[in-house]
Structure 1
Amino acid sequence: MEPVEINAGTWYLRALRADDRIDDRPALADGGITDPDYVARRTAQWAEETNFSWAVCEPTTAELVAEIVVTPGADDTAELTGWARPGYETALDTGTTAVRRFVEGGLGLRLR
């Protein structure tokens, strides 16, 4: 599956990136994620449909302020997790609500 972008009102959700236009790795490091292959792994997981992840971003700058991850289970369930940079807990809450709707309505999965 190709990554799905979600408009969550005041926040924009997109796939993680590390390219010549946007590099999420510094923001990920603020969240304690320093693995240099993290973004590539998350991209591959979308294609394999083993995990779906979203960078919750400030819409005017595209800066990552939180990450949401959905892990499908063996049945029709999924686990939703996430983290936010300090001061951006509201962005995580808003993004989680939007992802929850997508997972249940768009993917047909029940969140555990």
Structure 2
Amino acid sequence: MEPIEINAGAWYLRALRADALMDDRPGLGDLGETDPDYVTRTAGEWAGDTRYTWAVCEPTTGELLAEVALRPATGEVSSRARAGHDAAADAAVAAVRRFADALDI
């Protein structure tokens, strides 16, 4: 599946990025993710339909506040948030559950 953007009310969800326009790696580092190839790996997981991962972003800056992931084989949704951004993660989990329900996952 191609990455899908999701509107989660006050936040928006998009695929993780590490390019000239947006680099989520510093925010991921705040979540404890230190693998420099993590963003590349998540793109492969989307393509292989093994795990769908979103950056939960502040809409005006695109800054990663949290990450949410869906495993399509099981329907499991997980999240992790930067300090002070649990509400963003909670809203994202609810939005991804609705997305999964729409796909009958």
1:9-88 superposed matches below 5 A: 9-73=9-73, 77-88=74-85
Question: How many pairs are equivalent?
Answer: 105
Q: Any stretches of 5+ residues in structure 1 without a counterpart?
A: none
Counterpart amino acid of residue 100 in structure 1: R
Shift of 1:16: 0.1
Return structure 1 stretches of 4+ with deviation > 2 angstroms: none
Counterpart amino acid of residue 11 in structure 1: W
Does 13-22 or 77-86 show the bigger shift? 77-86
Q: Give the alignment's TM-score, normalised by structure 2.
A: 0.97
**Within 2, Cα distance between the matches of 1:60 and 1:95?**
17
Counterpart amino acid of residue 78 in structure 1: G
Residue 67 of structure 1: SS of its match in structure 2?
Answer: strand
Q: Any stretches of 5+ residues in structure 2 without a counterpart?
A: none
**Within 2, Cα distance between the matches of 1:83 and 1:8?**
16
1:99 aligns with 2:86: no
Shift of 1:9: 1.1
**Within 1, Cα distance between the matches of 2:9 and 2:79?**
18
Counterpart amino acid of residue 85 in structure 1: R
Shift of 1:78: 1.4
Counterpart amino acid of residue 48 in structure 1: G
Identical residues among aligned pairs (%)? 57
**Within 1, Cα distance between the matches of 2:28 and 2:67?**
9
**Within 1, Cα distance between the matches of 2:50 and 2:58?**
26
Shift of 1:72: 2.3
Match of 2:104 in 1: 108
